[in-house]
Amino acid sequence: MKRPSTSSRDNTSRISRRAMVLGGIQGLVIGTLAWRMRDLQVNQSSEYRLLSDENRIRDRLLLPERGLIFDRNGQPLAENLPNYRIVMIREQAGDVRTVLAQLARIIELPVERREDIIRSMRRFGPSKKVPIIEHLSWEDFARVSANAPALPGIITEVGLNRYYPMQEDYSHVIGYVGPVSEADLNRFEDPDQIILSPGFQIGKTGLERHKGALLRGVAGIQRVEVNAVGRVMRELGRNDSLKGTDLQLTLDHDLQHYAQYRLAGESAAAVVMDVNSGDVRAMASTPGFDPNQFIYGITTKYWNSLIENEYRPLADKTISGAYPPGSTVKMITALAALEEGVVDPNEEIMCRGYVEVGNRRFHCWKRGGHGRMNLTDGLKNSCDVYYYEICQRIGIEKMALMARRFGFGAKPPLPLPSLTSGLAPNKQWKFDRYNEEWRIGDTLNAAIGQGFVLASPMQLAVMTARLASGRAVQPRIIQRINGVAEPLARAPSMQLSDKNLDLVKLGMFRVSNENRGTAYKSRINEPSLAMAGKTGTAQVKGISAEERAADLDSDEVPWKYRDHALFVGFAPYDNPRFAISVVIEHGISGSGAAAPVARDIMLRALYGTQPPISAYPRNLWPQMREQQANEPPPNQNIQPATPGSDRA
């Protein structure tokens, strides 16, 4: 038998080694694949199952219903109405322009509007639901819903929109909601997902802003299964959202509406407070605005009409307006003097129409003077000279301390933005502010509510309530939260002499109820409801000697330079229930402009409805009959305004 040659044996050996190496490599590859398959299927199965589920399961944020706001009697002031709208999820739409063009064949959607939508969508992630059309009619909504399967990424849904049925009446107190802006986001250190949701609206002003965290509620989560194009197939589960908190205010809509009506045509404010509880029954600021315009997107024309109006309709004058209080502060000056024992209430001070201090003459409002005045005479006639004299005995420090006890110089504890603290100045304040020493003339001006002294209508109402009750009443505007009454403690005593308080209140009674009192023409004619009050007229610019000599008619002075008109009061005198303050910007005369308005609003508060004609002075009966006949009813059940097209 022939043996294999050496070369044949070498070739066979070489082939066997190669086969072993190749087999080893194949075994290694197969082993590696097997190990990887086991790792994917066993060790990492949960992770990949989650990734797979995320391709077909989506978590959607469920926006909560915003809390409602009511007046003290349950009248809705801020509510939610259905809003038919279209939203889009960009990652499911594919070519957004194509989808919008298809949508435009179903409903009106101009090219310019489509481009705006595309630009706005870039601000949000591709998986977010972005509102593209709001406030659809039911017919348009139904047409889009029927064609939704052919519109990838398009979803029709029924949302809720804020609506303010009383329109201007509560525009400042309640405020309004609007889309979240960059400035809004800067207010939140760690904004939650609900605020970051496209189209979500937050409070911009008033209670809507200050109580926004309570009102907006808590978002829920809906888990849905979607198909390859993102269409929802079924709901897998949900955690429902929690509705926002309902608020019931202390305000009375009938009184609020009447106060707004009575101040119509003026740049003015009025506040009515319960003197015992501090409940604010009305806080009217005119002119107002329609907050619903901001919900739909305000027109350029309407926005310009607001910001260009010298009456400042966007400002809440009741809490943000800081005015020289004029003669309404004289009760504070009188109390400071009485408490310090530097004046006898029966002491008479001679008023010749002015006093001279140093080389300067300080005038009384009555040029010829009032003659001899005691404390209650000084209030009844609002004699400036009387207060020029007694303030020099007190000094500014004691006057400032008394003013602060009555609420000046501190923001009222109300859940509203833009509160002013007013000003009760003293020597240190002037030095810190102007680096100047306090002068005696500053004290004389402060004694009659001029110079540096400032107060808001709310602070003037608080001052009056404290005078009437002798207690440190604090204002409040929220009565119940989700139906639970807010705690109300009895206000502490002002720690003032009852005798001194009674003297000041007697002076206020004489202002409104005695012939020649500065508010006698605006008295309440029903003795059991008699009102005690104080008029005030505050200069907004100094009067030069030349201007005083010229004695210009008020109509000849530009509106913005005319004096402010003020009135404060409480009623009934024998058993006080309500305090009121009225400020009419550049109204010229407290007795002529502010006092009649205050009387009418006070009567409405006391009677709770239109008062009988007999409650007015007899000479006013024909006028008041006509006024009551023309009074518009409270604007209830007004339909939402139609959204405009020219939007700012």
So which residues are the catalytic ones?
Answer: 327
Contact partners, residue 402, CB within 8 Å, separation at least 6 = 332, 333, 335, 336, 339
Q: Decide the pairing of beta strands 247-249 and 69-70.
A: parallel
Q: How many CB atoms lie within 10 A of CB 597?
A: 22
What's the per-residue H, E or C state across 228-259? CCCCEEEEEEEECCECCCCEEECCCHHHHHHH
Q: How many CB atoms lie within 10 A of CB 96?
A: 17
d(CA 191, CA 193): 7
User: Angle, to 10 degrees, between the axis of helix 440-447 and the axis of helix 384-394?
Assistant: 130
d(CA 361, CA 363): 6
CA distances from residue 426 to 1, 249, 438, 451 in whole angstroms, order as listed: 134, 37, 8, 12
Residue count (the chain): 648
* Intra-chain end-to-end CA distance of the chain, in Å: 109
CA distances from residue 209 to 173, 176, 284, 295, 616 in whole angstroms, order as listed: 10, 8, 19, 14, 41
DSSP class of residue 476? Answer: B
Question: Phi and psi at residue 478, in whole multiples of 5°?
Answer: -110, 120
Bond into 572 cis (ω within 30): yes
Question: Phi and psi at residue 110, in whole multiples of 5°?
Answer: -60, 160
d(CA 279, CA 477): 6
d(CA 93, CA 153): 4
Nearest to 165 by CA among 302, 291, 315, 265: 291
Which residue is listed with tokens 């409801």?
Answer: 529
SS3 content of the chain, % helix, strand, coil (to 5): 40, 20, 40
548-555 long-range contacts (CB < 8 A, ≥24 apart) are 548/363, 554/588
d(CA 258, CA 631): 8
